[in-house]
Amino acid sequence: MQARQEQAVRRTMVSVTARKSKLSTSLEDYLEAILHLVRRQRVARVRDIARRLGVHMPSVTAALKVLARRKLVNYDPYQFITLTESGQRAAQEVTHRHRVLRDFLTGVLGLDDSRAEANACRMEHAVDQVVLDRLGDFARFVERSGRWDKDWIDAVGRSHKDVRGSRPGRRRASGRRPARVGEGIRNREIGEAL
């Protein structure tokens, strides 16, 4: 079991190192924005990317040229932008990290949606797969342990007075509970991870 864990850590470290040496935080944000726009509109345009990221169009053009040189996007001036296969994989990885972190921050720590979203955006670029897996494992452990009761939720909420009105397990405005943390993360027993 220890050999498997060491191998997973080595693989993760290589993956994170490779990812970090290839893409800056900014370029990851561009890929994430393009993926979102392509899913919503089937294509991305420079002006849509600029609007989504709150940057100027020349900044988008410069980033797209870099991403195109790295074969992560299909880009020609005045044409639609799409992701290549490797760009799609990279964008999905960033989006997955973002979703897991956001769900952990809202579902376990009880942060409000906007605070969780802003923090997940910053954290997604730094967290490695081991930490991401552990966050998902912890959330599943809390859920399975039966500790996720009203007293525990109130105790966690009281210990964080700087986040008033925000309690773990609170319901969103839509009336539904936030998505479970770790959805899509490898399904393994909590005992292996701890």
Domain ranges of the chain: 2-89, 95-193
The sign of the torsion formed by the CA atoms of 184, 111, 94, 79 equals positive
Q: Could you tell me which of 58, 68, 55 has the C-alpha nearest to residue 29?
A: 55
Q: What is the mean pLDDT of residues 42-46?
A: 93
Q: What pLDDT digit, counting tens, does each position of 67-125 carry?
A: 999 999 999 998 999 999 999 999 999 999 998 888 888 877 878 899 999 999 899 88
CATH 3.40.50.2300 fits 2-89, yes or no: no
Distance CA 132, CA 53 (A): 24
- pLDDT of amino acid 73: 96
Mutual orientation of helices 46-53 and 57-69 as an angle, nearest 10°?
A: 110
Is the confidence at residue 49, as pLDDT, over 80? yes
The sign of the torsion formed by the CA atoms of 191, 176, 109, 52 equals positive
Q: What pLDDT digit, counting tens, does each position of 27-41 carry?
A: 999 999 999 999 999
Length of the chain: 194
Q: Identify any residues that bridge with 73 across adjacent strands, giving them in sequence order.
A: 83
Q: What is the mean pLDDT of residues 127-156?
A: 76
Tokens coding 158: 């009281």
